Amino acid sequence: MSICKWFKKKKKPIKTPTKKPSPLYQAASTYIGTREIPGAKHNKKIQEMHKVVTGQELSDETPWCAAFVNFILHANGYKGTGSLLARSFLKYGQLVDAENVRQGDIVLLWRESPNSWKGHVGFFHDRDSEYVYILGGNQANAVNISKYKRTRILAYRRV
Does residue 5 fall inside a structural domain?
no
Does residue 16 fall inside a structural domain?
no
Name the β-bridge partners of 157.
95, 106
Domain residue limits at 127: 21-158
The CA–CA distances, whole Å, from 67 to 70, 103, 115, 118, 142 equal 5, 19, 22, 14, 13
What whole-number distance in Å separates Cα of residue 122 and Cα of residue 124? 7
Domains held by the chain: number: 1
Does residue 112 fall inside a structural domain?
yes
Q: How many CA atoms lie within 13 A of 73 on its CB side?
A: 26
Q: Which CATH number covers residue 73? A: 3.90.1720.10
Name the β-bridge partners of 1.
none
Name the β-bridge partners of 123.
106, 135
Quote the distance between the C-alpha of residue 48 and its chain's center. Answer: 19
Mean pLDDT, rounded, of the chain: 90
Does residue 3 fall inside a structural domain?
no
Confidence (pLDDT) at 100 = 95
Give the model confidence (pLDDT) of 38-68 as tens digits. 999 999 999 999 999 999 989 999 999 999 9
Regions in the chain scoring below 70 on pLDDT: 1-19
Does residue 9 fall inside a structural domain?
no
pTM, two decimal places: 0.87
Does residue 8 fall inside a structural domain?
no
Q: With H, G, I as helix, E, B as strand and everything else as coil, classify residue 75.
A: helix
Confidence (pLDDT) at 21 = 76
